[in-house]
Structure formats: structure tokens, C-alpha cells
Structure 1
């Protein structure tokens, strides 16, 4: 399975400092190196607009995972925007200032490669959010990511104060 990671999910990783969570970063990097975790060029552009953090530095070092849209992906972005409601994926501010917008490219990349979009966004009825667009176009989102992984490590954690 290929996981296409949104800016929001990468920013969430800022709490996982390399020196405190080295095992997480080793496992995550292995998934990146295997090609299972990728993203789109616009996510890197969104990250570059943020203040420097451990994740921004990591993203710059791993810039090869942030792919430009393939022709089929660009065509699918057009299909997303064919529904006027989903044109709200690009905010007025982003339109006026030329800010990068990754959302439609993430969804298109996942659709074309039958991948899963990993995002922190949640489904909201009648909204123009990543999960809503994914549902409309039958693209797997974050829930699919969790279901695709056997994330049992949390159940096996023993905290010092629990004993």
C-alpha cells in the first residue's frame, strides 16, 4: 500500500522529536525509503512556508518523496473541481496570494496509484475537506491508513506507573 501524506499529518510529527522517539523515526524512515510513504510537491511547498522545525528539516532532507503531479493526476484534479462545491478546497486567501494548496493533488495521487491519503482532517457533512472529497471519489483516507497497519504497539506499552 502507498500512503500519500498531507501537510497536517507531517506537522503532527513535530511532537515526535528524533532524540526522544528514535524508534518511531527509524521505522517511519524505513517506510519512506521503501516507497510506501510519499507525498506531493505542494505539501513540500506548504511545509517550506512554515517556520523551521525538525519535520521541515526532515522533509527537505527527504525532498525526493514529494512528487510533481503526473498527467493522470492533473486530469483527476480537474474531475475534483468539476463539482463546484469542491472548488472550496482552494481558499480565497490562497487564490489571492498564490499560496500552495496540496489537497486536490494528494487526493489525485492517491486515486491514480490506489493509495491512501493520510491527513489529520476529519469528515464533516457538506464540507469541502479531504475526507469528503475522498469519500465522493472512493479514495482511501486516514482511517484506511490505520486499518492497513497493524498498530498494536500501543497495546503493548508498559508505563512505569502502571505496575
Structure 2
């Protein structure tokens, strides 16, 4: 039996799902799917994602806050070392001037240090130096939500 994938989710994926593509009032099955993945320990997020979402303090953050203990992962030495290496090799990943994308290296590092290695969930597209570009350079799988939903075979009621 194949090992089921574990995902490291980026803020962009959660924001995209909540505000644009899979609004909870119309796509409850997606949010039930997220909860099932969280319960199975297969959907994880860096605490840095939580801190990024906390800045908005909206309904999405309220949803995350209810799942803080089960969805979000505190930094450990392996993740910290991976973040240091990512930033050394991809310094433009984080926009330090505008304070954007601060969680991105943590999302990637969580995936990279996972046992087994996780798949990064992001709505970012490959570009100059974005999550997909760094994942590709480091041989880490990534996908968007629509592909994950299809792979997990989620269907509306």
C-alpha cells in the first residue's frame, strides 16, 4: 500500500481557498477534507504561516486558531537549519523590504525535513524566486490546491 502524502501548506493556499476558490459556505466538502487531513496528521503548517495569517485576524484566522494545536508545527532544529540553507541559496525568496513571504522558507523547510518528505501546497506560480522555484531547485514536490483535491479524490456531497 502506498504511503499517503503529507502536505506543508502555505498561507497563499489557505487564503486562496478561503477568499477565492473554495469559500466555506459553498465548498464545505473542501474544508471537511482539510479537517480530515489534519486529523490524520497529513496537513501541516509552519507556525510562521499562523503568524502571517494572524496579521489579518479574519474568519480564516479564526478557523486556523481553532486548529492551532493540530495543524501548526513549532520550529525545530532541523527546520531552522533548512531555513538557513534556503535563505543562503535563495535570498530573494523573502522580500525583507516589504515584509512579504516571511513564512515561505519555513513552509519549504517543513516539507524538506519531514519524514517522509512532505509536498508543499501553494497557489504561487513559478516566477523569479517563488516557492515552486525553490522547491524545484531542492527536489521537493509541490502542487496547488486543485491538484491536491483531485489527487485526494474529494467530491462534493
Q: TM-score, normalised by structure 2?
A: 0.81
Distance of 1:105 and 1:59 partners within structure 2: 17
Structure possessing the higher radius of gyration over alpha carbons: 1
Distance of 1:28 and 1:132 partners within structure 2: 25
Q: TM-score, normalised by structure 1?
A: 0.79
Gaps of 5+ in 2: none
Superposition map of 1:86-101 within 5 A: 86-94=90-98, 101=102
Distance of 2:95 and 2:134 partners within structure 1: 15
User: CA 1:119–1:51 in structure 2 vs 1: closer, same or farther (change >3 Å)?
Assistant: same
Ranges of 4+ aligned residues in structure 1 off by more than 6 Å: none
Residue number among 116, 121, 126 corresponding to 1:118 in the alignment: 121
Q: Could you say which structure has the higher helix fraction?
A: 1
Distance of 1:27 and 1:121 partners within structure 2: 21
Q: Is the 8 A contact 1:2 1:116 kept in 2?
A: yes
